Chain A
Amino acid sequence: MSVVLTTGKISALTAITKILPDHADALRRTLQGLTAANGGKISSLGTIHIVRWVIFDNDTRLLFATNFDGGVEDYMRDFAERAPDGIDAIWGHCEGYPGARDYPKLRDYILGSAIETTGYYCAYPNSTVADINKALDWKGKFDAFLDQIG
Chain B
Amino acid sequence: MPAPSDASDLDRNDIQGMAMRPYRFPAAHYHLLGVSDPARARRWFGGAAGRCTTVAGLDASPSLGFNLALSWQGLSAIGTPESSLSSFPQEFQQGMAARADRLDDVGDSAPARWDPPFDKSVHALVVVSAMTPADRDAASQALLSDISDNGLTALAAIDAKLLPGPDGRPVPIEHFGYRDGITQPAIEGSGEPALPGAGIPDTDGWRALKAGEFVLGQPDETGVVPDLPAPASLSRNGSFVVLRKLHQHVFAFRDFLRRSATDEIDVALLAAKMMGRWPSGAPLALAAERDDPALAGDPMRNNQFTYSDDLRGLNCPVGAHVRRLNPRSGLTGPNGASVHRHRLLRQGLPYGSRLPPDATADDGAARGAIMLLVNADIARQFEFVQKVWINDGDFAGLGNDKDPMIGGNDGSGSFTIPRTGAPRRRLPNLPAFVSTRGGEYFFLPGIAALRSLADSLAVSLADTAS
Closest to B333 in A: A46
Q: Kindly state whether residue A134 has any CB partner on chain B within 8 Å.
A: yes
Q: Verify B394–A70 contact, CB threshold 8 A.
A: yes
Chain B residues lying within 8 Å of A102, measured Cβ to Cβ, are 227
Q: Verify B334–A134 contact, CB threshold 8 A.
A: no
Chain A residues lying within 8 Å of B380, measured Cβ to Cβ, are 77
Complex Cα distance A101/B338, Å? 15
| One of A45, A73, A101, A128 near B334 (C-beta < 8 A) | A45
Chain A residues lying within 8 Å of B224, measured Cβ to Cβ, are 101
Contacting A at CB under 8 A, from B322-341, are 333-335, 337-338, 341
| Given known A-B contacts A70-B388, A71-B387, A81-B222, A134 and B338 have beta carbons under 8 A apart | no
| Given known A-B contacts A46-B335, A82-B337, A101-B224, A134 and B387 have beta carbons under 8 A apart | no
Chain B residues lying within 8 Å of A128, measured Cβ to Cβ, are 394, 399
Q: Kindly state whether residue B253 has any CB partner on chain A within 8 Å.
A: no
Closest to A127 in B: B399
| Given known A-B contacts A73-B379, A101-B224, A130 and B394 have beta carbons under 8 A apart | yes
| One of A78, A104, A131 near B338 (C-beta < 8 A) | A78
Chain A residues lying within 8 Å of B387, measured Cβ to Cβ, are 71, 74
Complex Cα distance A128/B396, Å? 12
Complex Cα distance A144/B388, Å? 34
- Number of A residues near B (Cβ < 8 Å) is 21
Contacting B at CB under 8 A, from A40-55, are 44-47
Closest to B380 in A: A77
Chain A residues lying within 8 Å of B227, measured Cβ to Cβ, are 102, 104
Chain A residues lying within 8 Å of B334, measured Cβ to Cβ, are 44-47, 78
**Most chain-A Cβ atoms within 10 A of its Cβ — which of B334, B335, B379?**
B334
* Least distance between B424 CB and chain A CB atoms (Å): 13
Chain A residues lying within 8 Å of B335, measured Cβ to Cβ, are 46, 78
Chain A residues lying within 8 Å of B395, measured Cβ to Cβ, are 130
* Least distance between B360 CB and chain A CB atoms (Å): 40
Complex Cα distance A74/B224, Å? 20
Q: Kindly state whether residue B213 has any CB partner on chain A within 8 Å.
A: no
Which residues of A are interface residues toward B (Cβ below 8 A)? 9, 44-47, 69-71, 73-74, 77-78, 81-82, 101-102, 104, 128, 130-131, 134
Identify the 6 closest CB pairs spanning chains A and B, nearest first: A46-B334, A78-B338, A44-B334, A128-B394, A130-B397, A130-B394
A81-B222, A81-B338, A134-B397 given. 18 additional CB < 8 A pairs? Answer: A9-B394, A44-B337, A46-B335, A47-B334, A47-B394, A69-B394, A70-B388, A70-B392, A71-B387, A71-B388, A74-B384, A74-B387, A82-B338, A101-B224, A102-B227, A128-B394, A130-B333, A130-B395
